[in-house]
Structure 1
Amino acid sequence: MHALTESQIRKSFVNTTLRERNSLTLPPSFAELDWDQLDFLAWRDPKLPLIGYLVVPIDDTLVGILLRQGQRQPRTRPQCSFCEDVQLPNEVAFFSAKRAGAAGRKGDTVGTLLCSGFECNANVRVRASAIFAGDDPEAVRQQRIERLRAHARGFAGRILG
């Protein structure tokens, strides 16, 4: 992912009001982000604990999505829909997002299970163990990165309708 400016991020949101877009809080470490290690940008709002933000590049377009975490946690440990990591060191939570445009204004939403702190970018870059990677752990790592990108683009596409 290439480096983004605050203006690009704010303009990218497709399922927010102008007020929500202008009041969103950027990640605390925004200036120090390692953009080469990101397939999408995601962060939790430090002021609003149940709100998260996701910015996904699709071709030459950015799709920003405001996410709301569900208040009830699943009874069993779910798998993240983006990174599909089976050895997660972190929690997974249900997030929903209004769809873009008229559908979202009518209340249509899309939901998914995601790492609650959006650790997916780091999770897919961890070297896979021999049990999962076989003879070529780097190839498996690259496949995981590509699947993460595809899942993120697919979710953004469902928001766009």
Structure 2
Amino acid sequence: MSTASPQDQHVAALYSAHHNWLRAWLRKKLGCSHHAADLVQDTFERVLRTQANAQAEILREPRAYLVTVASRLVANHYRRRTLEDAWLAALSQMPEPVSPSPEEQLLILHTLNEIDALLNALPHKVRTAFLLSQLEGLGYAEIGERLGVTVRTVKRYMAQAFEECLMSLE
């Protein structure tokens, strides 16, 4: 007798029915069977978490759903890869004595990925205001002009961004 929940059984059936198809789709999209295999597992892990949290019904269009989830993971994969490439390019420009150790490099890359995820979770205007302030050093009035909002709104955006940053530290 199975003790798995109905949601777990549904995801297991979904996995059995569509795993090979999704892996082939991802392999074609990524051009790498290893990355495809990793993203298939990530996709089904996300589906399992979503199904458990939402008490979801059986999917009417499972392949469309799996492609949507997998496509988001592919986008995250490429964004991480772009960030890693930029980091490696910056690292290659450093003189060897100043270059961080492999352990430090991994920690820095992990931190960059966390910052990227945090910024991408912010609403577009909040993220833009935060980046204009922190990276370009613009004042709130200048940011407001660029975004077409009031200074008060910029202050609200900044408060929201700082709050998210502080919450991520916990």
Name the TM-score class by shorter chain: under 0.3
Give the number of the structure whose residues are more often helix, by fraction.
2
Instruction: Considering Cα pairs closer than 8 Å and 6+ residues apart, tell me whether 1 or 2 has the greater RCO.
Output: 1
Higher strand share: 1
Instruction: Kindly name which structure, 1 or 2, has the bigger radius of gyration based on alpha carbons.
Output: 2
TM-score for the superposition, normalised by structure 1:
0.28
